[in-house]
Structure 1
Amino acid sequence: MSESTLPSPEAFLVDYVRRLERRKDGVGAIHVHFSKLLPFNRRDHHIRTAIASFEDIVPEVTGRIFTLSNQDLIFIFDAAEIDEVNAVIFRLKFLFNDDPLISDGKDESGAPATFTDYFDVAQQYKDFLHLTQTLVRSNANRPRQVSKAAERHNDSPDLEDGRAPLTPKILGRIDEALRRADLSNLMRRQAICAVVGDANPTPVFHELFISIKDLQQTLLPDVNVLSNRWLFQHLTEILDRRMLSLLTRSNDASVTGSVSINLNVSTLLSPDFLTFDSNVKAGQRGTIVLELQKIDIFADLGAFFFARDFCRDRGYRICIDGISHLSLPYINRNKLGVDMIKMIWDPEMENLDEEHGNAMREAVAQSGDTRVIMCRCDDERAIKFGHGINITMFQGRYVEQLLSERTKK
């Protein structure tokens, strides 16, 4: 059977729903509209994380997951377990709460839309069957359109790029090369500073990181490391291990003292981190901030909570990175048990209405004005806006520029 004649996920769904007619009592179904999220939020790793959230509850909740050609998901389950399903939906809404579909109830075009639709299959069987049949028909011309959309938003490799795609074999060779390479010259540091009023920025600690861009140019000029998101994730885990190794061996004052390092949750649970921890002096742990990405945290909350408790018990501080201005009001730092939140500066913040501005100001007050860092500050506008919502901690090229000017004086 050729690939073009294989049954679509929608065809399997219709067949399943038809067979469900005689046993539809007590059955619920939920349609999750990932296709209505902004392109940035429906990249492969986001969708896989969302699907994994449903897969995690299948052992306890009798159900069947259908992932559709347009990236939507339909979960058919025992309606008595609706609370478990709602808990997953809550997690997903939190994960995507910076998307207009969640925050404003609007799709990419600005039209009113919902993130989820629930069906009581016994009461709404005809409507649910009609939906599945509609999905089959709408899928007929979708594959090429989705491919084009992916190309527009860089979700598929650039065929004109000319570089080799990242493959498991190439990743293995990269891993071997990184074990031998001296990456100390690729390590970068950027200050996180307190900026109060018109005073000069005062460094509080420095983020240490290995520059992916420089690594690409130095070791991998002929490989497109972003061509496969999951292999790129493995590459970041390899770099985590090299970073920990560098920090363990280094006596350089520039990489000691108060620092932060951006790591994967999986790295914190690895033998490499235990080795790193055993080489850190007890009094030094309190000067190290471990930064974790929001998407990584919600990919496996159980792993995050375990890693968080271990690291905080050892004395490290935890920071959630990758928070948008729309996400900030929904992040409760105290309930998540973390020390800091890092929010990304976006020029769109200047256009927020008073309600959103007040919500951000209240979120900063709840977290603590010294616990929220605004990063990627590339110009003075970021500092000005941050001060307007009582943020005092900043990071970015503009902050580095101010520090450099102060040093010259």
Structure 2
Amino acid sequence: MGQLPRKLPFSKKPLTLRVTISYIFDYVIIIALAIGFFILDSVEPYHQHFSLENKSLQYPYAVKERITITQAIVVSIGGPIIVIAIYTLLIDGLFSHHKPSGNSASTRRKLMGPYRLKDRLWELNCGILGLLLSQALAFVITQALKTACGKPRPDIIDRCQPRPGSADAPVYGLSNSSICTGDKKIIKDGFRSWPSGHSSSSFAGLFYLSLYLSGKLHIMDNRGEVWKMIIVLIPTLSAALVAVTRIMDARHHPFDVITGSMLGVFTAYISYRQYFPPLSEPWKKGRAYPIRSWGTAPEPPRYAERLQGSEDDGVPLRDADEERIPVPNPRQDSFRTFPNLRHPAALTPAVYGRRQRDRDGYSSSSSEDVATGFEMTTPQYGQMTRLESSETQYDPYRADTGYPSRSDLHSPAPPVEPVPAASRPLAGSKRPLDEQ
């Protein structure tokens, strides 16, 4: 009792100390942020001066809010958790076109797709962990700004209940909270207008859900399916409606709602990217990163060399760790075997491979039963490796997407006559290859 398990439920590897430390920090930080929020909530905020003649501060105090903070939390936290759980455990892989087949595949996997229960549990863990991190950051940052700024709400005068005969100071023309006779708790909350907590919380949870669904539905795959866009925008629209109610209730100024919404978008994005790949890589289908290990030395990205001699028109390639691409060496004579260096076979990766595991070998899939069925191979220069798998994954190289077909990708470049040695450029020449 009270001891950590020796093995993880989604991996056959033993649970090492480095992995434990790596992920226990995430939960500790979320708990610390929650405690920090309650501490900030108990602090008396700064009270800005205000004018009794300011019409924007004379709205009536709405005793009954359209959406209370409890309802906002249910919508922005409970709703995404339910959607993430249903999609991860039941829907993910259900409509896959490449489901496992054969006698070795179970009936459940033939119906539900290639992802096993431990893969789904890992996705669920990362999805909920990112959501909680987004909400915790939004709450703490919002509450810290509220307390430090002390901006009056639009209904501050009604909350204040100024003493009879009160008027703005004759010198500076402003009043302060010393003239208030209302409920101190209500007055305290009346100086927490910027930024809007409902707005930041709703966008931190619901915009995070939009990002999550965008990755799972790979909306940036150059196919332009409108129904996916509609599904993705529903949570964001819901967050916007929650934020608008704060203006309707005269709890916040429009500027407070806009900045609070932007804060929620920011925390949602950075929290999503801690556990999931960017949306600009749709071939990864929004699958969570494999298990990380704390204490391992990071490796810098190895950028490919420029494909042309001129520095102005060089074509950058993707990270070699993610996509193994045959890259010619401009310092060797073999560089001239490709006359057209923008040929698809030279610029496009052969296979989008499986996610690279870390040094400890932790992953949500075991080594003998990989959910995606991909193995990364090392193509030789001038060749493109064919996909060797019984269960193919998302293929962005389809004719209807504008990408070159696989037959074009795997076809060798057209042969050219060798360049005589006498006509080769001198060493150190910086002229473009076309002019050489």
TM range (shorter): under 0.3
Between the two structures, name the one with larger relative contact order (CA 8 Å, sep ≥ 6).
2
So what's the TM-score if we normalise by structure 1?
0.24
Q: TM-score, normalised by structure 2?
A: 0.23
Q: Please identify which structure carries the higher helix content.
A: 1
